């Protein structure tokens, strides 16, 4: 110190700190007002930016007040420099955290917009957040006077050892990046693997892919396995697809009438049931002369994979009721069995029964008469 601290110094420093705190509260109130207006817009990016500024603006105002307070105090050059470096590094860290939140939120918003679902792939979000945080920490260390060149070199050498130790983890990481970059699978898609797992893709993170099946259970699939296996994506290139329902009618039915009635039921289902495709043109295709009926296929339109069960359910009910009203039969398979009797081995209808042990006396008499 060049001189001793007096009451005036403490008073001025306190006023500077109070002014910084008051400015922080005013900025927070202003940003809360801006946040309410940002919620009314369609773009989600302004919500993310305002939310991040709520964190950095009050902290920056408070740090500015502390810096002004430090300049009013009679500090030595060494102490003053250390205080300024510390406050600058703290401001950089706060700005880094806010920037990481903004960038991660924007990446998540863009991913959600592209996939059309609320959830997005967290692998890009996490990678972006880590990169921003690492850069911010390195800048803060450089501000404090710590040389980062040896640290970067050590990280490069240690990275080789880490890469060898985490081969499976890194393989899953790059497999997840490849899956998302190639757009073969996106969050919200319904997929089915050849091994039997199927469901909606909830998230693709740095290690695995999370799939939610129709029973609302989560299936965890490593990214490396997902990249190597064969799969069917029921959402791409479009979510709408066709399903086929097998039906059969009796040989005595008028097939022209059957086709008209079936198409009428298809049109009703497509127009009334949620998840159907209203502009879908139904089709009926007769294809087999079976043992007891003529089989045909009905083609229905479905909005997405999980809608097919509800549409099949309603179509079968309506078609069955309509066929009964129209007098169209749906015969069940029948088998006719013809029995032939061998006359050489079958006794005459009135032939006496051979005597057996335990037979009644009248039976024994009949057996004797027969032998005579």
> For the segment 96-116, what is each residue's pLDDT rounded down to a tens digit?
777 777 777 776 666 555 544
d(CA 24, CA 90): 16
Q: How far apart are CA 215 and CA 204, in angstroms?
A: 20
Answer for the pair 273, 181: CB distance below 8 angstroms, yes or no. no
Asked whether residue 48 carries a pLDDT value surpassing 60, the answer given is yes
Give the model's pLDDT for residue 174. 79
**Beta carbons of 239 and 251 less than 8 angstroms apart:** no
Compute the mean pLDDT over every residue in the chain, rounded to the nearest whole number.
Answer: 76
Do 308 and 302 contact (CB within 8 A), yes or no? yes
pLDDT band at 226 (very low <50, low <70, confident <90, very high): confident
Phi/psi for 36 (5° steps) reads -65, -35
Do 330 and 269 meet the contact criterion of CB atoms below 8 Å apart?
Answer: no
Q: Do you find a cis peptide bond into 152, omega within 30 degrees of 0? A: no
Choose between 322 and 158: higher pLDDT: 322
The single residue listed with the structure tokens 């007002």 is 33
What average pLDDT score do residues 262-275 get? Answer: 90
Which range among 222-236, 309-323, 351-365 has the greatest average pLDDT?
309-323
Query: Residues 6 or more apart from 23 whose CB is under 8 A from it?
Result: 61, 64, 65
pLDDT digits (tens, 9 = 90+) for 296-338: 999 998 988 888 899 999 999 999 999 999 988 888 776 667 7
pLDDT at 359 over 50: no
Q: Which residues contact 72 (CB under 8 A, 6 or more apart)?
A: 9, 12, 13, 16
Q: What is the mean pLDDT of residues 186-210?
A: 86
pLDDT score for 368: 40
């Amino acid at each position: 110190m060049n001189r001793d601290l007096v009451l005036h110094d403490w008073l001025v420093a306190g006023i500077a700190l109070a002014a910084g705190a008051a400015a922080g509260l005013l900025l927070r109130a202003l940003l809360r007002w801006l946040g309410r207006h940002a919620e009314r817009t369609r773009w989600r990016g302004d919500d993310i930016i305002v939310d991040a500024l709520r964190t950095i603006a009050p902290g920056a105002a408070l740090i500015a007040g502390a810096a002004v307070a430090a300049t009013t105090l009679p500090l030595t050059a060494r102490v003053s420099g250390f205080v300024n470096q510390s406050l600058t590094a703290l401001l950089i860290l706060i700005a880094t955290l806010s920037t990481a939140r903004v960038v991660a939120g924007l990446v998540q918003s863009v991913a959600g917009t592209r996939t059309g679902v609320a959830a997005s792939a967290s692998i890009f979000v996490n990678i972006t957040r880590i990169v921003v945080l690492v850069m911010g920490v390195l800048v803060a260390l450089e501000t404090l006077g710590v040389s980062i060149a040896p640290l970067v070199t050590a990280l490069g050498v240690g990275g080789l050892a880490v890469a060898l130790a985490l081969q499976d983890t890194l393989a899953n990481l790059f497999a997840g990046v490849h899956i998302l970059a190639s757009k073969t699978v996106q969050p919200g898609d319904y997929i089915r693997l050849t091994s039997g797992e199927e469901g909606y893709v909830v998230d693709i993170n740095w290690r695995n892919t999370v799939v939610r099946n129709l029973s609302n259970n989560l299936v965890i699939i490593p990214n490396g396995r997902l990249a190597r296996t064969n799969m069917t994506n029921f959402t791409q290139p479009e979510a709408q697809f066709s399903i086929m329902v097998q039906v059969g009618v009796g040989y005595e039915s008028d097939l022209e009438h059957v086709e008209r009635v079936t198409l009428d039921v298809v049109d009703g289902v497509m127009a009334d049931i949620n998840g159907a495709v209203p502009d879908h043109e139904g089709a009926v295709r007769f294809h087999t002369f079976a043992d007891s009926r003529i089989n045909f296929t009905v083609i229905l339109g479905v909005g997405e994979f999980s809608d097919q069960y509800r549409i099949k359910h309603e179509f079968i009910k309506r078609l069955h009721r309509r066929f009964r009203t129209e007098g169209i039969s749906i015969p069940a398979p029948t088998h006719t069995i013809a029995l032939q009797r061998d006359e050489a081995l079958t006794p005459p209808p009135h032939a006496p029964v051979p005597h057996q042990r335990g037979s009644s006396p009248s039976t024994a008499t009949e057996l004797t008469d027969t032998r005579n």
